[in-house]
Amino acid sequence: TTWHEMVVLAMAVPGTLVSIWLMKRMSTRNLQMYGFLGIAACFVLLAALMEPLKNDHPNWLYAIYCLLLFALCLGPNTTCFVLPGESYPKHIRATFNGMSAALGKLGAVVGAYTFGYLSEITSLYFVFCCSAGLAVAGAILTYMCLPAEGFMPRLKGNTAKDSAVAAVMHEGKRVITTV
């Protein structure tokens, strides 16, 4: 129903707010990695519980789906906007941010069309397991490819000036050349 759709879409708000709160307390890498792992856990739950719950307890499946959308907004949905700003040098940031966004949109389109096709020729169980596997792969790639402290280490004060100073000098080493 429309009410259910509104509740599901509203999960983006607390997910994003918690993500912003956590971003001051952990690196972007960890936030993205834990978000992917949360997404994987939700897909595993959906795969395991879809058949037993779909007839007698559909509200439990709905709750897991809401939790999945919360996890999506908590991690990768928010960090995909932050990482380009942290990782690309200033002189190419806008161009590469646009290219990153375009590739993300392409991945979303491929995923949306593949989901329906795969669920028709296989089963939802298979698609949920594949989605969980892709989320775990995302967490592993995040762990392997992003620096542990993030590209722009945050200082305790979390002011713009402190972040700019931390971006230039971290542990006595020059981290980026332009801020």
DSSP letters, 26-39, are: S-HHHHHHHHHHHH
Residue 64: pLDDT over 70: yes
Task: Please give the mean pLDDT across all residues of the chain.
Answer: 82
Residues 124, 50 contacting (CB under 8 angstroms)? yes
Q: How confident is the model at residue 135 (pLDDT cuts 50, 70, 90)?
A: very high
Contact 162, 155 (CB under 8 A): yes
Cα separation, 1 vs 31, in Å, equals 32
- Sign of the Cα torsion 115, 117, 120, 126 reads negative
pLDDT(171) > 70: no
pTM: 0.78
Reference 143, options 42, 15, 31; nearest CA is 31
Predicted pLDDT at 161: 42
Residue with tokens 């395991």: 48
